[in-house]
């Protein structure tokens, strides 16, 4: 399940990406527009800034803005920063692999094989979807 942190992070990034120009946006503006607790949003935006997605400007006219173009921000990178591994179990994680304590043989484990398929399909979607794609999807007709 997607955490609120990741959901709100994606919403905040999408909000910033929709704006014309790279003018800083105050946290309070994003918070109100996206219905996110300002205190929680501060933590999320700080994490995204440390990861290199955002920059901030202090003082009058300050706020957060994107460092990269929305088309150059794959959802897989945002997901990993905010959520952690894309894999649902550690034994199939590409970046955070750990052997499962209760599994004597990964090659014979039916859950392991299923989770590889789930990971690969999720990874394909996340790697091939950019922040720009999310914006495009919200401006088009619903499915």
Q: Which residue has the tokens 């935006």?
A: 45
Q: Is residue 132 part of a domain?
A: no
The rounded percent of the chain whose pLDDT value lies above 70 is 97
Please tell me the total count of domains within the chain: 2
Q: Are residues 89 and 48 in the same domain?
A: no
Question: Which residue range(s) make up the domain with 16?
Answer: 4-66
Ranges of the chain whose pLDDT falls below 70: 140-143
Q: Are 19 and 54 spatial neighbours (Cβ–Cβ below 8 Å)?
A: no
Q: Kindly state whether residues 55 and 92 are assigned to the same domain.
A: no
pLDDT at 101: 87
Q: Are residues 56 and 97 in the same domain?
A: no
The rounded distance, in Å, linking the Cα atoms of 22 and 7 is 22
* Each residue's pLDDT tens digit, 34-62: 999 999 999 999 999 999 999 999 888 88
């Amino acid at each position: 399940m997607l955490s609120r942190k990741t959901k709100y992070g994606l919403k905040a990034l999408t909000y910033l990406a929709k704006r014309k120009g790279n003018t800083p946006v105050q946290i309070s503006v994003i918070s109100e527009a996206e219905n996110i607790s300002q205190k929680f949003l501060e933590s999320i935006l700080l994490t995204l800034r440390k990861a290199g997605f955002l920059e901030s400007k202090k003082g009058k006219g300050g706020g957060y803005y994107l460092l990269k173009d929305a088309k150059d921000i794959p959802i897989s990178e945002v997901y990993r920063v905010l959520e952690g591994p894309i894999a649902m179990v550690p034994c199939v994680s590409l970046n955070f692999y750990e052997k499962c304590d209760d599994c004597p043989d990964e090659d014979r484990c039916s859950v392991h094989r299923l989770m590889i398929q789930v990971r690969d399909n999720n990874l394909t979607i996340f790697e091939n979807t950019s922040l720009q794609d999310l914006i495009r999807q919200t401006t088009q007709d619903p499915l």
